[in-house]
Amino acid sequence: MSRQQIVAGNWKLNGSKALINAFNEHFTHTDIPNVSIMLFVPALYAEAVDKSAFCVGVQNISEHSSGAHTGELSVAMLNDLGIKYTLVGHSERRQMYGDSNAVVAKKVSVALDADITPILCVGESLETRDAGQVNEFIQAQLDSVIELVGIAGLSRCVVAYEPIWAIGTGHTATPEQAQAVHAFIRQYIASKDAMSAQQISILYGGSVNAQTASDLFAQPDIDGGLVGGASLQQADFLTICQAANQRG
Ligand code: PEP
C-alpha cells in the first residue's frame, strides 16, 4: 500500500448485525474520496460489512496456518472470504493474550505471505513514557518485525502508533506528542530505507474523537487514525473520516 489517509475503526468485542446495517446505510452515500475507511469488526460480522463503503478487516489472526488451534482464524480463511486487512499487535492482544514481539512478527510475516495488509500496532505504557524510553521501546517493537520480514516487509504494513495510556482512557495524546513519535518512526524507517519511509502510512490511535481528529490529522507525519470507542458511533466516526478527508 502506498502512503494514504486511512481511518480504521476497531470495534473490539462490540457491535451487532443491527449496528453494521446502520453503518452500511450511513456510509454508503457519503462522499469521502480521499480516505480509505477500514472497519475491524468482530470476525463473525465481517461478511455483513458493505465492501463498497468500507475496507473490512479482522482484529487478530493466528500465526499458524491450520490445525489444532481452537478459536483461531487463519490467513487462508481471510483470503477465502476476500478479507485483505488485519490488526496485528494491538496492545490489548499484547497485554491480555500473550502476543509477544516475536509472535507479532510471525503474524505480520504470515499475513504478508498471504497478501493481507497488517496494521501493525506499536506503543508504549505510561511507565515507559515517564522513564523517557519511548523511542527505544517503539524501535524494539519495529526491530522484531524488521528482523523477520526485512524493511521491505515492514513497508507493506500500515503502522499504528497507539500509546497504551491513551487507549480507551479519554486522554488523547496531544498533536505534538503524537507527531514527535510519528516523526521518530518515519525517521527510523528512513534510516533503513528512504523510499519505505515515504510510502508507509502511520496512523495515530488512542482516544481519537470527533473533536480531536482534525488537529491530530493536520500533523505532517500522521496519516489518519485507528479509532476504538468513537468508531461505534456513526456520526462521530463520519466526522473523523471527514477530518482525514480534508488532509487527503
Ligand atoms: C484502539 O482500540 O485501538 C483505540 C485506539 O481505542 P480508543 O479509540 O477507544 O482509545
Residue range of the domain that includes 194: 5-247
Cell numbers at 210, concatenated: 470527533
Q: Which of the listed residues 207, 222, 239, 240 should we mutate to test ligand 1's pocket, taking the one with most ligand atoms within 8 A of CB? A: 207
Question: Contact 110/63 with Cβ under 8 angstroms?
Answer: yes
Cell numbers at 110, concatenated: 504470515
Ligand 1 pocket, CB under 6 A:
10, 162, 167-168, 205-208, 226-230
CATH number of the domain bearing residue 78: 3.20.20.70
Nearest one of 124, 148, 2, 137 to 63, comparing CA atoms: 148
Domain count, the chain: 1
Nearest one of 44, 46, 49 to 21, comparing CA atoms: 49
**pLDDT range class, residue 88, cuts 50, 70, 90:** very high
Q: Note the pLDDT of residue 159.
A: 98
pLDDT higher than threshold 90 for residue 160: yes
The kind and range of the H/E element at 205 are strand 202-205
Q: Can you tell me which residue has the cell 528482523? A: 147
pLDDT in tens, 7-40: 999 999 999 999 999 999 999 888 899 999 999 9
The whole-model pTM stands at 0.97
